[in-house]
Amino acid sequence: MRHQPAPVQLGTIPNILPGHEFLNRQEVKSAGLHRDLYKGISSLKCHPAEAIVLSGGYEDDMDLGSCILYTGEGGNQEGRQVADQQLSGGNLALSLSFARQTPVRVIRKVQEGSLSFYQYAGLYYVTQFSQEAGKSGHRIWRFRLEQRSAPADAAPETPAAQEPEPTYTAAPRRLRLAQQIIRDTTVMHAVKQLYDYRCQVCRARLAVPGGAYAGAAHIRPLGCAHHGPDKISNLLCLCPNHHATFDRGGWAIQDDWHLLGEPGHLTVAPTHQPHPAHLLYHRRRIYRPATLFT
């Protein structure tokens, strides 16, 4: 009996929001985001593309976050282009995504040292595509994908049932400009994954629907006046309680991993070495011994 492929599913997948993380391609496939374990483009013949995976396998790819220059499939050998690409298969599917302006799910492979995982980035639209010469001189199909809302002329979805809108008085607002620190979620995920979401102090693992929760705590804070680096050597994996008390100076860490203001010592994996300079900074600038308040 011939296996029938799953029907085409464009757009969002129920209960999968941008930022959702997966350990491997099998989990990505099982969630319904992408139908293949190896190909970069998820599609069925004569239909627009459903999804793409950005995994660093093509030398001509360029990932700029909300804008992606994506190399089509074919002619690739160990990350290098060795033959011209054709407008067929997944490439043809992405050209249909452009023609019909249908959304494409984007999944990124995130690599941090020996650790890797996949993260759902959300919906993108193909805004341009063309055939051009790649870095190795072979002809490639290049697709520009942009993260944005659905096209203005797209038909809105009709809800099954619509309740009357309640009337609220809008809260007063005022325009304010502010600078915001951009945190590197890759290294934050890496330190939590390294300890299996267990606190480095109490070893607690907080189970939540869909997995576990832990905080990635910066030893030297990132904010103004501290300007700590967003590096794994400046991060700890802590439970919510120890995260909050550490940030407020309730306890600190000595260079031999013994704790100040808290019994016990820090659990440290062989591949994770919190930098002594950051620990010293925290002891001098953040830590507030209880004797100061007695």
Question: Can you give the residue range of the structural domain that contains 239?
Answer: 185-293
Question: CB of 11 within 8 A of CB of 103?
Answer: yes
Which residue type, as a one-letter code, is found at position 83? A
Evaluate whether residue 88 is within a structural domain.
yes
pLDDT, position 116: 82
Evaluate whether residue 274 is within a structural domain.
yes
Q: Are residues 136 and 203 in the same domain?
A: no
Evaluate whether residue 9 is within a structural domain.
no
Q: Are residues 129 and 213 in the same domain?
A: no
Determine how many CB atoms are found less than 10 A away from the CB of residue 12.
Answer: 15
Q: Are residues 100 and 192 in the same domain?
A: no
pLDDT, position 45: 87
Q: Are residues 101 and 202 in the same domain?
A: no
CA–CA gap between residue 128 and residue 230 (Å, rounded)? 35
Evaluate whether residue 90 is within a structural domain.
yes
Say how many domains are in the chain.
2
pLDDT, position 133: 87
CATH code of residue 61:
2.30.280.10
Residue 218 backbone class (left: φ over 0; alpha: ψ -120 to 50; beta: rest): beta
Q: What is the pLDDT along the chain (294 residues), one digit of tens a residue?
A: 556 777 888 989 998 888 888 889 899 999 999 988 888 898 888 899 999 998 877 777 888 888 888 888 888 877 788 898 888 988 999 999 998 899 999 999 887 777 788 899 899 999 888 888 888 888 888 899 998 754 444 444 444 444 454 555 555 666 555 444 555 567 888 899 899 999 999 999 998 887 889 999 999 998 767 888 888 999 999 999 999 999 999 999 999 999 999 999 999 999 899 999 999 999 998 998 875 444
Evaluate whether residue 110 is within a structural domain.
yes
Evaluate whether residue 103 is within a structural domain.
yes
pLDDT, position 176: 56
Residue 249 backbone class (left: φ over 0; alpha: ψ -120 to 50; beta: rest): left
Evaluate whether residue 199 is within a structural domain.
yes
pLDDT, position 58: 78
Question: CB of 217 within 8 A of CB of 223?
Answer: no
Q: Are residues 113 and 197 in the same domain?
A: no
Q: Are residues 194 and 278 in the same domain?
A: yes
Evaluate whether residue 171 is within a structural domain.
no
Last residue of a domain, one of 146, 173, 207: 146
